[in-house]
Amino acid sequence: MLDVAQLNYQHLFYFWVVAREESVTRASQRLSLAPSTVSAQIKQLEGVLNTQLFDRSHRSMKMTSTGVSVFAYADEIFSLGQQLIDEIQGKEAQRALRLEVGLASSIPKLVALKLLEPVLDLDQRVDLVCREDHAEGLLLGLGRHDIDVAIVDDPLNAAAAGTNAFHRLITECGVLIYGTPELLEAHPGELIKRLDRAPFLMPTSKTTLRRSLDSWFARHKIQPDIRAEFEDSALLKTFGGRGAGFFAAPAIVQAEVERQHGVVAIGELEGVIERFWAVSVERRIQHPAVRALTDAARGEITILDGSSDGPADGPEDEPADGSRDAI
């Protein structure tokens, strides 16, 4: 049975360099060693581990599946080693935080940027990874701890996926209607009059915003001329900027939408609210970057998960199915 004392970390370092360079020649130049020496010592490492780390059936140095796993461990080992050296030498070495965020595909990109900006403004470096998926995929990612937090525009039914997740309603805002100056001139009058029979660009039926818009139009007996439907909110706004139709977007990104797409906000839809939730498997947020995300929103926009007199996380957070007990 292999013992940790048998592992030659010098050989592991050579393997790590070759894997990063994807070339024995480039790695040997960096290490100031002969290519034959580097190759021989990697073969010794493979012998000790009793596994093949590189697929030698190709000319390039591609790792096997086992090699990829070994590389991940080596990457952490030598990153920590460098931090140790920096610390001993008196450098200000600060380990970067890693934050993996899952974004619901229905979240507008400008909203995602606005919510995540506080994370990038932290004094400590944050290595941010953003993944986009539908609700089911985000729940699975939370359950597997592939992501630290999910940002959604609709509470996730965590019970259905067997996930012990808690949601925090961090932000709510109104919804504005936007259009180009040419559209405004062609369809004058108050908001309801403008939109009746006017060209309109819609999000797809799977989104919370689409359901809210359909309800608002029905309530006011408006029949817009729906010219197109989009899953991608950024693409929808691009078409809107070309004058293809009026469109709706959250009020918190009004300045960015108007500036980027050359449109004007013509009115707010009374009673239509967009809400954005942070979902995690922690009842109390521990990750500093996630706390920055929720705390910054608390300072700028209406927060609905607790009173201002409560603790930092507000009162006890709710599970993602809305019940008071953990799922």
Q: Are 48 and 184 in the same domain? A: no
Question: What are the beta bridge partners of residue 97?
Answer: 126
For the chain, the average pLDDT equals 82
Phi-psi domain of 222 (left: phi exceeds 0; alpha: psi -120 through 50; beta: other): beta
Q: Are 32 and 84 in the same domain? A: yes
Say whether pTM exceeds 0.75. no
pLDDT of residue 37: 92
pLDDT of residue 306: 31
Under the banding of pLDDT at 50, 70 and 90, the label for residue 301 is very low
Q: Which residue has the higher pLDDT, 8 or 295?
A: 8
pLDDT of residue 41: 92
pLDDT in tens, 146-164: 888 899 888 776 555 556 7
Residue 139's nearest CA partner among 115, 166, 116, 112 is 166
pLDDT of residue 58: 67
pLDDT of residue 311: 33
- Tell me 324's DSSP state: S
Share of the chain above pLDDT 70, in %: 83
Q: Are 144 and 187 in the same domain? A: yes
pLDDT of residue 7: 84
Q: Which residue has the higher pLDDT, 322 or 109?
A: 109
Residue 316 pLDDT exceeds 70: no
With tokens 């139009």, the residue in question is 217
Q: Are 277 and 196 in the same domain? A: yes
What tokens does 12 get? 């592991």
Q: Are 180 and 302 in the same domain? A: yes
Share of the chain above pLDDT 90, in %: 40
Q: Are 50 and 113 in the same domain? A: no
Under the banding of pLDDT at 50, 70 and 90, the label for residue 241 is very high
CATH number of the domain that residue 18 is part of: 1.10.10.10
Q: Among the listed ranges 51-65, 71-85, 306-320, which one has the minimum average pLDDT value?
A: 306-320
Q: Are 58 and 118 in the same domain? A: no
Under the banding of pLDDT at 50, 70 and 90, the label for residue 42 is very high
pLDDT of residue 159: 52
pLDDT of residue 137: 87
CATH number of the domain that residue 205 is part of: 3.40.190.290
Residue 242 pLDDT exceeds 80: yes
Q: Are 29 and 169 in the same domain? A: no
Are the beta carbons of 207 and 153 closer than 8 angstroms? yes
- Average pLDDT of the segment spanning 294-304: 46
pLDDT of residue 228: 97
Q: Among 32, 59, 88, identify where a domain stops.
A: 88
Q: Are 174 and 204 in the same domain? A: yes
Angle at 249 between CA 261 and CA 295, to 5 degrees: 110
Are the beta carbons of 139 and 158 closer than 8 angstroms? yes
Q: Which residue has the higher pLDDT, 300 or 126?
A: 126
pLDDT of residue 238: 96
Q: Are 45 and 187 in the same domain? A: no
- Average pLDDT of the segment spanning 242-260: 95
Amino acid at 282: E
Residue 323 pLDDT exceeds 50: no
Residue 245 pLDDT exceeds 90: yes
Q: Among 61, 88, 115, identify where a domain stops.
A: 88
Residue 103 pLDDT exceeds 90: yes
Euclidean distance between CA atoms 195 and 257, whole angstroms: 19
Q: What is the number of structural domains in the chain?
A: 2
Are the beta carbons of 266 and 177 closer than 8 angstroms? yes
3-class SS shares of the chain: helix, strand, coil, % to 5:
45, 20, 35
Under the banding of pLDDT at 50, 70 and 90, the label for residue 327 is very low
Q: Are 179 and 62 in the same domain? A: no
Q: Among 70, 88, 106, identify where a domain stops.
A: 88
Full domain range(s) for residue 35:
4-88
Q: Are 114 and 211 in the same domain? A: yes
- Average pLDDT of the segment spanning 13-18: 92
Give me the half-sphere count of Cα atoms (radius 13 Å) on the Cβ side of residue 136. Answer: 1
